[in-house]
With several copies, the nearest count.
Chain A
Amino acid sequence: MIDPIILFFIFGFLASLFRSDLKIPPAIYDLLSILLLITIGMKGGVELAKQPFISLLPQIGVVLLIGFVIPLVLSPVLRQLGKFKREDAASIAAHYGSVSVGTFAVAIAFMENNSIEYEAHLPVFVVMLEIPAIIVGILLAKGIQANMAWGKISHEIFLGKGVVLLIGGLAIGWIAGPDGITKIKPLFFDLFTGILALFLLEMGLITARQLSSLKNYGFFLVGFGIIVPVLMAIGGVWVGLAMGLSVGGATVLGTLTASASYIAVPAAMRISVPSANPTLSLTASLGITFPFNVLVGIPIYYQIAKLMQG
């Protein structure tokens, strides 16, 4: 049975394709993403409050490493195979090294819809994977220069809206703990799937608008936007199983590695690496990889995880 949140995405996509005047006002899009990010952060934080942080440290270390490694691997591929200039390769690599919170939420919904178990602390990984790829991306684009405006750059990285909301939510959930947040649950937790549905409606509208850029940038991007996520998902699932996650948990980690950022990274790259063409990375991450993961990727990654689990 098809999850209705997916239907909202398809609905938005079609409405935009047929040039309907349907629009979600920017202020509402902001509200939706604020709610999603805080809630995911809080869910992670609540789990941290339940188990000793130290016990999660090894997993967190591995996940951080993934975030540093992916862009290092992807960037040369993009330069060699894709013939992209240095800054563009670095920027696209950073997008794919980081994660898409929307994709994560859809993966969690998939788990719950199909009653698949997963580790409750997975949202912590989302927070961990946001940032490393941005740092690597900037270094790849600029090299390590003496006169680098690190103040400005680290501000962009750590104080961008997406990262701040995730970390803020994490901290609130951690400090308040499972009981503390009871009274704010109706807004942040009970409405979560509905909010996600509206968010995906808007993502559908935006995604369809990216398509027009596709023809300008050839079909390398299409291939890249589909093949790379699958390969990264396999890697992510493998690492997840290796570090002891359940099949569900490994699937979600695979989905995270397969997903590409379209909130935190674009903003940071636009400021820190101005000469990278933002249309390239957004077309790939939002126009191809996001719909691919959400519509067909996640179930495939789950099958892969089951197979690899053996």
Chain B
Amino acid sequence: MSTEKELITIITEAVLETELCKKIEQLGATGYTVIDVRGKGHTGNRGGDWKESANIQIEVVCNAHLAEVITHTLETNYFDDYAMIVYRSPVTVLRSDKF
């Protein structure tokens, strides 16, 4: 089993946390990690002082195929309406059977 996986990083509105995490699980990811962040992008300043303007960063480690599925789902369902960026990078995992 290959230890080369993909890390997907999603930075988006905090209000989406529950919904996205559920969806990521449903699509087959074995886990995810969420960080409270703040930032600025096309939709303006999201300083995170209160829930409405708070961002989260979601990280998912998974295989290349699932990475495709997840990013595609995000692109289709959330990109138009929400502040969101998504990027991927290759990572080498320990215990690759965990993912």
Contact = CB atoms under 8 A, between A and B. Distances in A.
B44 A24 contact: no
Given A274-B82, A275-B80, A26 B48 contact: yes
Interface centre among A21, A29, A270, A275 (most CB of B within 10 A): A270
Interface stretch (B11-19, B27-35, B58-66): B11-19
Interface size class of A (residues with CB under 8 A): 20 to 34
Interface in A171-207: 202, 205-206
A202 to B, nearest CB: 7
Given A21-B18, A209-B45, A270-B13, A275 B51 contact: no
A278 B52 contact: yes
A29 B50 contact: yes
Contacts, number: 39
B45 to A, nearest CB: 7
B84 to A, nearest CB: 11
Nearest to A21: B18
B44 A275 contact: no
Given A26-B50, A202-B49, A275-B80, 12 more contacts: A21-B18, A24-B49, A29-B49, A206-B50, A266-B52, A267-B15, A270-B13, A270-B15, A271-B15, A275-B81, A279-B44, A282-B52
Contacts of A202: 49-50
A282 B49 CA distance: 14
B54 interface: yes
Tell me which of B19, B36, B44, B50 has the highest count of chain A C-beta atoms within 10 A of its own C-beta.
Answer: B50
B19 A209 contact: no
Interface of B: 13, 15-16, 18-19, 36, 44-45, 47-52, 54, 78, 80-82
Interface of A: 21, 23-24, 26, 29, 202, 205-206, 209, 213, 262, 266-267, 270-271, 274-275, 278-279, 282
A60 B96 CA distance: 53
A202 B53 CA distance: 14
A278 to B, nearest CB: 7
A26 B49 contact: yes
Q: A-side binding surface: helix, strand, loop or mixed?
A: helix
Nearest to A267: B15
A9 to B, nearest CB: 15
B49 A274 contact: no
Given A274-B81, A274-B82, A275-B81, A23 B19 contact: no
Contacts of A274: 78, 81-82
A209 B52 contact: no
Contacts of B78: 274
Contact of B49 (A23, A262, A271): A23
B49 A205 contact: yes
B51 A206 contact: no
A41 B39 CA distance: 33
Nearest to B83: A278
A271 B51 contact: no
A26 B15 contact: no
Contacts of A205: 49
A209 B82 CA distance: 20
B92 to A, nearest CB: 26
Nearest to B13: A270
A267 B49 contact: no
A209 B81 contact: no
A29 B52 CA distance: 12
B54 A26 contact: yes
B53 to A, nearest CB: 8
A267 B82 contact: no
A23 B48 CA distance: 11
A274 B19 CA distance: 13
